[in-house]
Amino acid sequence: MKIGSVVSASVLRGIDAKLELENPEDLKVGYPVIVEGKKYDFYCIIKDIYNPQIEIVERIAGSGIHDTVPLSGHNPNTVFSKASLKAIQLIDKDGRLFEPETIPPYLSSVRSAKKEDVNKIYTITEKSMNVGTLRGVPEFEISIDYEKLTEKPFAIFGRTGMGKSILCKIVCNSILAKTAASVFIFDMHSEYGIFSKSDNTPGLKFFFPEKVEMFTLDPSNREAKPFIIDSKNIRPEDIIVAFQDLSSPMVDALYIINRERKNNLISEIKNATMEKYPTAHPSALQALQRRIMRLDRFGFVMEGNDTFNQLITLIKNGESIVLDFGKYGRDATAYLFLANIIARRLYREYSENDYPRLVLFLEEAHKFLAPEIAGYTIFDRLARETRKFNLILALIDQRPSRIDEEVRSQLANRLILSMKEPTDVESALAGVPDKSVWKDIVATIPARTLLLLGDAIRVPTVIDIMDYAQMKKCLNRFNKDDIDEISKSSGKIFG
């Protein structure tokens, strides 16, 4: 369907089209359109829709007669709307694709993109899987190449309530379905196991019982194996990251104790005296001892017991891990503490051994990767180095502006949902070509809509994320009767 004609064009600034629609509300930001040039079809995305300033409208406005004067659709030469377009690809008459290095002539026809147009742009590989539909072309499914997605660090960014958790579940299930990698999930809110605690949707263990193993910090969870950390494996950096309120003298005292200790670090801190550690600041030592008592409430920290080697055995066999936090799910200290310990030990294992590819999903990434704390964590090194040895970092966050710039620069793919804070939008798109185009789109797209940029897809694409209920159909594993039966017998299966 024709929607307008080109009235101005620039390779750098984009294309402006005069709309011939009766109602501009039929178009939305992010919709794909085709500009029909003489040599090429210009595959474009709508970056803005606007009503230009028109003298007759200004005269009528507020005059009391504006309701009786027909404007939209009846006076196209006098009153009209416009759309700003960004060319993404050129398609020649033989269907070959080119980067946009030229412009269409004046008055070139602009029409809505159709499925046959989009088919020329996107390719499907053996490792591709549907994540949703092309915004504006609901009959066309968009797939991500999960082999390419999991080759390098990537991120899911979006403000609270925009669908990060659902998108992450879709991504994890798809990675497993395409055997692109294994995954490790810190499941703070019990969403990824058998069934989500919040909405009862099926999780990774439900769809892939043979590929996923569940562990838990909470003894009341009978569906998962208990997870224990041996206190002798705790390092000063784990404590600094977990508490994030240690003063410089307290950090100094921590390293003094660690350097001279004879037992595990936690016991040494609790029993430290000025006689044993005379170079430590007295008040800093006392404050450190008060803070270390917070770890006493963590029932998963024990001396002499450790579950980490069980994880490594499973990971070596290509299995995925869901670590359920249970009653500790709202305890930020528990999450920061445990995630840093596990990531540090995984880094060591992967740097010394040839293990299958593992994607480590890190929620609340800014709490680990803020510039002032990143140096104490292993995650900045994970972002820079681990593509070399198959341990891939996936960030999930609502405040990318608080993530260290060097870490963000390592992201090969970005799955960006709606964000409003200008600094977060700017940071999420840092290093992306034509950033100004995508900034406005990220700020205007609704919930459950995604801007995907990176080498896992042919061109930057705005996607309406599929309903998670479609996951069962995409995986092609269970029908409704199967799901009901497995739900009833899940205790027997996983017990």
By the 8 A CB rule, do 1 and 94 touch? Answer: no
Q: Is the pLDDT of residue 361 over 80?
A: yes
What pLDDT, on a 0 to 100 scale, did the predictor assign at position 68? 58
pLDDT (average), residues 473-481: 64
What pLDDT, on a 0 to 100 scale, did the predictor assign at position 495? 42
What pLDDT, on a 0 to 100 scale, did the predictor assign at position 475? 84
Tell me the two tokens of residue 58: 């200004």
What pLDDT, on a 0 to 100 scale, did the predictor assign at position 4? 96
Q: How far is Cα 275 from Cα 271, in angstroms, rounded to an integer?
A: 11
Tell me the two tokens of residue 459: 């061109």
pLDDT (average), residues 420-433: 94
| Helix axis angle, 332-352 to 308-316, nearest 10° | 50
Q: Match 């089209």 to its residue by tokens.
A: 17
What pLDDT, on a 0 to 100 scale, did the predictor assign at position 102? 97
- Is the model more confident about 147 or about 55? 147
Q: Quote the Cα angle for 226-338-305, to 5°.
A: 45
By the 8 A CB rule, do 291 and 283 touch? Answer: no
Q: Quote the Cα angle for 198-201-204, to 5°.
A: 110
pLDDT (average), residues 425-454: 93
DSSP β-bridge partners for residue 97:
91
pLDDT (average), residues 339-345: 94
Q: Is the pLDDT of residue 276 over 80?
A: yes
Lowest mean pLDDT of 82-96, 210-224, 230-244, 382-396, name the range: 382-396
Whole-structure pTM value: 0.90
Q: 445 burial class (0-12, 13-18, 19+ CB within 10 angstroms)?
A: buried
75 — pLDDT class (breaks 50, 70, 90): low
57 — pLDDT class (breaks 50, 70, 90): confident
